[in-house]
A and B are shown apart, each in its own frame.
Chain A
């Protein structure tokens, strides 16, 4: 993906943060290593960042850093399975995912009262997929199975969930990078979610309204 880059110098100027903060946040893994992009310039090596992502992240850190510790913040941003448990009742009450999605998950995996973040994420992804109207009940089940079996193998890499449809046949893909991909003309991309983005969206929903 051709993303706009911002140099470290411009970033500090634009956001008003210091070198100390930037390096501290890097150390605490609040800013992923992959965002530090090295390029040769006339002064030697310089570091650049994907502008959209880094600005969004830094604004978030600045907004949250006074209310929670840096280590907790790192947890919030890490694509790694989060260290939280969510009660099923809570999830239903707060309308974060559809009841159908929970039901489907339980049919496939079993009934759980206390759900790990990863489980909630899977339900959330299915719920969102169903909402699009692009997929049906059977396809939803396939998504759950795929996530359940293969998500742990991604090992905190950035990933996307893709559902392809061709002549009524559906394929569920879990891709471990966010490079663009191409399909033939007869294939339709029914679903395309970047999991990292969905993790953040879900966390926002979970944190809002405070539990």
Chain B
């Protein structure tokens, strides 16, 4: 195929166009894009609807964007309410606001400052989750750092270093819309080499070095090297393996 200079796609107002390959895509109003989009930069400010897969270098979502498809990008930044029907593959993903993704998340780094719902697994090298989240699948990462600001749940967590903390100083802009009272994490299984937990309810926690902090309710802790259990935690059974 011959080299061709790609055009920009700028949508303002109530427009409906079809997808394609572009240099830059900006959607400002109630734009709808039908079909797959392939571009360098994608920015969506309004209430955009994209019916197709998105593949881009940089993606910035500021409005309430709906994507009916998968998103593949090196850098993704979500500040509004994104709702994505498919999978999300990325190098880095920064999310603030309140988003929902039906498929899996896969990438290197995810940073959350807000709320998110994930329907599939979330597999990253580094996860910094600040806020409240629901993950229906496995949260898998070399380093998983959770800072609880609301009721959160995840099916399973696995990785190398896993920490769950409850931040006593509320982030004002977050706590406005998250219930402050129930800042806790519930999960079935946590498995990791180094685990440090607070305010976590789990059936099983397995690991090498484990610290169980205040507010935890855990049925079974299995450790191979070291364990510390806070007086303010409730652990039914502890086993060395």
**A20 CB contact (under 8 Å) in B124, B142, B189:** B142
Given B125, B188, B191, B219, which contacts A19 in the complex, CB threshold below 8 Å? B191
Annotate A31-61 by CB proximity to B: 1 below 8 A, 0 otherwise. Answer: 0000000000001110000000000000000
A8 CA to B204 CA in the complex, in Å?
13
| Per-position 1/0 for B168-181, Cβ under 8 A of A | 00000000000000
Q: Which residues of A contact B140 (CB under 8 A)?
A: 23, 26-27
Q: Note all chain B residues with C-beta closer than 8 A to A87.
A: none
Q: How many residues of A contact B (CB 8 A)?
A: 15
Is B150 at the interface (CB under 8 A from chain A)?
no
A13, A21, A24, A26 — most chain B CB neighbours (10 Å):
A24
The tally of residues in B whose CB lies under 8 Å from a CB in A reads 24
Give the number of A-B contacts (CB < 8 Å).
53
25 A-B residue pairings within 8 Å (CB atoms): A9-B206, A13-B241, A18-B160, A18-B193, A19-B158, A19-B160, A19-B193, A19-B208, A20-B142, A20-B159, A23-B158, A23-B159, A23-B160, A23-B191, A23-B192, A24-B142, A26-B123, A26-B140, A26-B158, A27-B125, A27-B140, A43-B204, A44-B188, A44-B203, A44-B204
Q: Which of B94-143 contact A (CB under 8 A)?
A: 123-125, 140-142
SS class of chain B's interface: helix, strand, loop or mixed? Answer: strand
| Chain A residues whose C-beta falls within 8 Å of the C-beta of B193 in the assembled complex | 18-20
Residue of A nearest to B204 (CB): A43
- Measuring CB to CB, which residues of chain B are less than 8 angstroms from any residue of chain A? 123-125, 140-142, 158-161, 188-189, 191-193, 203-204, 206-208, 219-220, 222, 241
- How distant is the Cα of A8 from the Cα of B158 in the complex, in angstroms? 12
8 Å CB contact of A45 from B142, B158, B189: B189
Tell me the nearest residue of chain B to A44, going by C-beta. Answer: B203
What residues of chain B lie closer than 8 Å to A43, measured between beta carbons?
203-204, 219-220
CA distance A19 to B125 in the complex (A): 14
> 7 closest A-B pairs (Cβ-Cβ)?
A20-B160, A23-B158, A27-B123, A20-B193, A19-B191, A18-B193, A23-B140
A21: which B residues are within 8 A, CB to CB?
160
Q: Flag if B207 contacts A19 (CB, 8 Å).
A: yes
Which single residue of chain A is at the shortest CB-CB distance from B106? A27
Interface-central residue, A19, A21, A43, by most chain B CB under 10 Å: A19
Least distance between A14 CB and chain B CB atoms (Å): 13
Of B125, B161, B189, the most chain A CB neighbours within 10 A belong to B189
Would you call B160 and A24 a contact (CB within 8 A)?
Answer: yes
Q: How far is the CA of A133 from the CA of B160 in the complex (A)?
A: 51
Q: Shortest Cβ distance from B197 into chain A, in angstroms?
A: 15
Q: Which residues of B are found within 8 Å of A26, using beta-carbon distances?
A: 123, 140, 158
Among B123, B207, B219, chain A packs the most CB atoms within 10 A around the CB of B123
Q: Contacts A19-B159, A20-B142 hold; do A44 and B208 have CB atoms under 8 A apart?
A: no
Q: Are A19 and B206 in contact (CB under 8 A)?
A: yes
Distance in Å: Cβ of B128 to nearest Cβ of chain A: 17
- CB neighbours (8 Å) of A44 from chain B are 188-189, 203-204
- Determine the chain B residues whose CB is within 8 A of the CB of A24 once the complex forms: 142, 159-160
Closest Cβ of chain B: how far from A28's Cβ, in Å? Answer: 9
Distance between A17 CB and nearest chain B CB, rounded to angstroms: 10
User: Measured between C-beta atoms, what is the minimum distance from A12 to chain B in Å?
Assistant: 8
How far is it, in angstroms, between the C-alpha of A18 and the C-alpha of B142 when the chains are bound?
11
Q: CA separation between A45 and B189, bound complex, in Å?
A: 9
Contact partners of A8 in chain B: CB under 8 A = 191
Chain B nearest Cβ from A56, distance in angstroms: 22
Name the residue on B nearest A21 (C-beta).
B160
Specify which chain A residues have a CB less than 8 angstroms from the CB of B124 in the assembled complex. 27
- For B159, list chain A residues within 8 Å (CB): 19-20, 23-24
List A158-206 residues whose CB lies under 8 Å from chain B. Answer: none
**A16 → B minimal CB distance (Å):** 11
- A8 CB to nearest chain B CB (Å): 8
CB distance from B170 to the nearest CB of A (A): 32
CB distance from B241 to the nearest CB of A (A): 7
Which residues on B sit within 8 Å (CB–CB) of A13? 241
